């Protein structure tokens, strides 16, 4: 029967998995089938706005990777089309990005020389396998994994990448010899060595373009500044024939659809050499796509499917690999502009691909006069803007852990190859997450003045018998030792607190290591004569406790309701003698009605553990019967051990008042041994403790009135003249 059940579960799981895969790839059919025609105008206008940005960016970003401008344009067209069709976000725009281009450069330089056919084919191989990784993560519903990579990794990496982009593009403004490098120090060293060979006209053109870009951004931010600057610089070169006197130009672009290319996707040696870069491109692309789409969705209120977005990103990269492109990702600037331009759906991204293709077919010859210095100027400004000063300062102010991750990633980006810089940042992020989750907050909480809530109040004195600790985090193998250390440390500081109440409302996970830790703590408290109790245990955590047998080990009555926990522990476990004679504070609401002795009494060692001991008792009805028989009274001594103030408020006339404290300074010897001694208090708990103490002293004629004076009243016994 169990095998059949297991087979059915696997069958259901397989069918669900196949259905999910089918839904991922049918996504375009679903959203196009529900597309609203009244959104077309908004999507059309926003697509044109994006295309105006995308055209110069596609060329410029390809040049960052030392790839032909045509490769950037082909990637832009195919990625915008496929990413739009299979993506989840209405506004995320997929295509060439500066960060991805820089990682691509680092990976390609390790396997080929820029400008060679092998270099371009390697870019396609990188795009294909990075796409496969993203696609598999989406299909396997592993999109949640990128949530464990801190945003500080992206801030640190993009800041370092921006500096690298600036360093690599300065040589194009200077028009000096050299090749792009992912090493900041190698690039800057080369620049200083060749500073005397600077081509002044190229430098002037580049600096002029930078100035225009800054001014336009300051005074006319809504204009397509990069396109205007590139168009103006191109016209200037064409009119003055500056290409004839040393200004480097881009060269004419191909006119036509993105061509198919035979990419050696199974070249094992090539894949092995680029594996770190492929993984870095895949991971950074996923992190960017997830963070960008979330940021825009926060403004548009769209519900996102991260796994579907990963599928779209994966398919876009696989497609560009076979259409002469290179790795692509989600673009922050284009996505934000897409939203602000009024895009209503992914149709905007799809139509932007059409506009870029049309522009390439019409304006390709003009690229023959497009100055390289102008493109470098755009990339330098872009690189500077990649350094997010505002967010970096915010991280530095708010979190030491995030600050460490950001700085580590930033430094690694400048010192290491970019794929290892990404890996360093991801590992630092995971390390920070592990450290943070392995050290959950464990702190003592006390009730507020109205006894309705519990808060951390370090300046408020606690109860000498009971401590309440709140655990804020999971009890898994990484956190259990730390939590145990915190509890043990609290025990060492407060050796008299023999009872522990653990508030578990914020514990959402427990494993066998956590169970073992709790069992150890239970043993420690029970060895010192106390116990522990758990409140607020979540259902799935309690199920683990039941399956492991911990619930029976602790005792099912040790899981009280949250609101009843303190009254239950107070009335059944805490020593009222300690409350009356040793405790100077009133922590719990139940303490408020207890009297406080004005005597400074040191209770005998072990006196406060008598709550579990069985002592001879007499029930209220039986006691009343003996009171009515004067003959029985002659063989019985009745002693009220309450404080004088309690005794004066009401007592049995036949009861002698001897406060409990008197039994510790010589009164014990005065107790009669030839007749029964009945001890009375308010609820029977103090008298139970004293009875146990006297039994230990050798008295065998001691009885405790069960329930005390409260029990007499609840039983509605007729007091007559017996009670005054």
> For residues 74 and 22, what is the distance between their CA atoms, to the nearest angstrom?
28
The token pair that represents 507 in the structure block: 């514990």
Catalytic residue among 209, 463, 591, 681: 681
- How far CA 426 is from CA of 108, 112, 126, 398, in Å, comes to 22, 27, 20, 20
12 alpha-carbon distance from chain centroid: 31
Query: How far apart, in Å, do the first and last CA atoms of the chain sit?
Result: 73
Tokens of 210: 């930078």
Q: What angle do CA 224, 230, 235 make, to 5 degrees?
A: 125
Residues 73, 306: contact at Cβ < 8 Å? no
Give the chain's radius of gyration (CA, Å).
39
Structure-token pair, residue 375: 């493109």
Helix (H) or strand (E) holding 341: none
Residue 560 to residues 507, 528, 532: CA-CA distances in angstroms?
A: 17, 22, 11
* Partners of 704 in beta bridges: 617, 679
C-alpha to C-alpha distance for 617 and 163, rounded to whole angstroms: 84
Instruction: Give me the DSSP letters along 382-424.
Output: HHHHHS-HHHHHHHHHH-HHHHHHHHHHHHHHHHS-HHHHHHH
Report the distance separating Cα 330 and Cα 98, nearest Å.
11
Question: The dihedral of CA 354, 357, 358, 359: what is its sign?
Answer: positive
Running DSSP on this structure, what letter comes out for residue 607?
G
Instruction: Decide if 152 contacts 408 (C-beta within 8 A).
Output: no
Residues 188, 193, 197, 200: what is their CA dihedral angle, to the nearest 10 degrees? 40
Distances (CA, A) of 364 to 79, 97, 469: 20, 21, 71
Residue 180, CA distances (Å) to 64, 196, 410 in order: 8, 19, 20
CA separation for the pair 407, 71 (Å, rounded)? 34
Find out whether 182 and 102 touch, Cβ atoms under 8 Å. Answer: yes
CA–CA distance, 366 with 350 (Å, rounded to integer):
25
Burial level of 337, CB count in 10 A (0-12/13-18/19+)?
Answer: buried
**8 Å CB contact between 341 and 175:** no
3-state secondary structure 55-71: HHHHHHHHHHCCCCHHH
Contact by Cβ (8 Å): 326, 320: yes
Q: Is 463 among the residues known to form the active site?
A: no
Strand partners, 454: 447
Say which residues have a Cβ less than 8 Å from residue 500's Cβ, sequence separation at least 6.
Answer: 466, 467, 468, 469, 487, 521, 525, 530, 531, 532, 533
CA distance 371 to 272: 37
Alpha carbons 401 and 129: distance in angstroms, whole number: 33
**C-alpha–C-alpha distance, residues 111 and 596, integer Å:** 84
What whole-number distance in Å separates Cα of residue 654 and Cα of residue 639?
9
Which residues, in sequence order, are bridge partners of residue 705? Answer: 618
Q: H or E element: which one contains 441?
A: strand 441-444
Residue 248 · residue 258 · CB < 8 Å: no
Exposure b/e, 123-143, CB count within 10 A at least 16 = b: bbbbbbbbbbbbbebbbeeeb
Q: Which residues are the active-site residues?
A: 681
């Amino acid at each position: 029967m169990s095998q059949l059940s297991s087979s059915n579960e696997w069958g259901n799981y397989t069918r669900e998995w196949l259905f999910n895969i089918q839904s991922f790839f049918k996504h375009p059919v679903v959203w196009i089938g529900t597309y609203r025609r009244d959104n077309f105008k908004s999507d059309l206008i926003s697509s044109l706005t994006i295309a105006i940005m995308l055209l110069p960016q596609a060329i410029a970003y390809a040049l960052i990777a030392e790839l032909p401008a045509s490769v950037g344009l082909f990637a832009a067209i195919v990625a915008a089309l496929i990413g739009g069709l299979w993506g989840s976000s209405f506004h995320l725009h997929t295509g060439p990005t500066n960060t991805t281009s820089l990682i691509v450069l680092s990976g390609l330089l390790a396997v080929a020389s820029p400008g060679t056919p092998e270099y371009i084919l390697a870019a396609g191989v990188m795009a294909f396998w990075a796409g496969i990784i993203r696609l598999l993560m989406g299909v396997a519903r592993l999109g949640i994994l990128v949530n464990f990579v801190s945003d500080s990794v992206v801030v640190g990496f993009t800041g370092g990448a921006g500096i690298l982009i600036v360093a690599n593009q300065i040589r194009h403004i200077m028009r000096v010899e050299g090749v792009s490098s992912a090493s900041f120090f190698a690039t800057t060293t080369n620049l200083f060595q060749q500073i005397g060979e600077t081509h002044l006209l190229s430098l002037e053109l580049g600096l002029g373009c930078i100035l225009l870009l800054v001014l336009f951004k300051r005074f006319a931010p809504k204009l397509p500044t990069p396109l205007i600057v590139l168009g103006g610089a191109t016209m200037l070169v064409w009119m003055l024939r500056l290409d004839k006197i040393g200004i480097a130009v881009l060269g004419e672009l191909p006119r036509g659809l993105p061509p198919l290319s035979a990419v050696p996707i199974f070249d094992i040696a090539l894949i092995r050499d680029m594996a770190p870069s492929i993984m870095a491109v895949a991971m950074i692309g996923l992190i960017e796509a997830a963070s960008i789409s979330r940021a825009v969705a926060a403004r548009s209120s769209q519900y996102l499917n991260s796994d579907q977005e990963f599928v779209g990103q994966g398919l876009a990269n696989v497609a560009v690999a076979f259409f002469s492109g290179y790795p692509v990702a989600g673009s922050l600037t284009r996505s934000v502009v897409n939203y602000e331009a009024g895009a209503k759906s992914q149709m905007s991204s799809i139509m932007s691909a059409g506009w870029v293709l049309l522009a390439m077919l019409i304006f390709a010859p003009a690229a023959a006069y497009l100055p390289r210095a102008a493109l470098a100027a755009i990339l330098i400004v872009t690189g500077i803007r990649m350094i997010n000063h505002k967010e970096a300062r915010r991280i530095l102010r708010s979190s030491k852990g995030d600050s460490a991750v950001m700085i580590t990633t930033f430094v690694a980006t400048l010192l290491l190859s970019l794929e290892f810089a990404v890996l360093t940042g991801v590992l630092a992020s995971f390390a920070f997450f592990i450290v943070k989750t392995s050290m959950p907050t464990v702190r003592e909480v006390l009730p507020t003045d109205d006894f309705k809530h519990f808060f951390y109040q370090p300046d408020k004195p606690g109860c000498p018998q009971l401590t309440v600790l709140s655990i804020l985090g999971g009890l898994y193998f990484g956190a259990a030792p730390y939590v145990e250390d915190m509890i043990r440390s609290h025990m060492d500081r407060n050796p008299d607190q023999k009872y522990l109440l653990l508030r578990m409302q914020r514990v959402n996970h427990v494993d066998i290591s956590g169970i073992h830790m709790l069992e150890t703590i239970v043993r420690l408290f029970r060895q010192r004569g106390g116990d522990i109790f758990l409140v607020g245990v979540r259902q799935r955590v309690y199920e683990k406790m039941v399956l492991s047998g911990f619930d029976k080990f602790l005792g099912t009555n040790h899981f009280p309701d949250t609101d009843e926990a303190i009254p239950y522990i107070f009335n059944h476990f805490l020593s009222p003698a300690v409350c009356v004679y040793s405790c100077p504070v009133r922590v719990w609401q139940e303490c408020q009605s207890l009297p406080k002795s004005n005597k400074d009494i040191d209770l005998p060692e072990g006196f406060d553990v008598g709550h579990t001991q069985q002592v001879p008792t007499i029930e209220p009805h039986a006691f009343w019967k003996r009171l009515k028989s004067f003959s029985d009274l002659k063989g019985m001594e009745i002693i009220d051990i309450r404080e004088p103030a309690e005794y004066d408020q009401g007592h049995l006339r036949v009861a002698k008042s001897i406060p409990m404290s008197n039994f510790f300074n010589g009164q014990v010897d005065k107790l009669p041994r030839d007749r029964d001694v009945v001890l009375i208090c308010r609820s029977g708990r103090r008298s139970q403790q004293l009875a146990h103490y006297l039994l230990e002293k050798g008295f065998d004629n001691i009885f405790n009135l069960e329930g005390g004076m409260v029990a007499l009243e609840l039983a509605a016994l007729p007091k007559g003249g017996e009670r005054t």
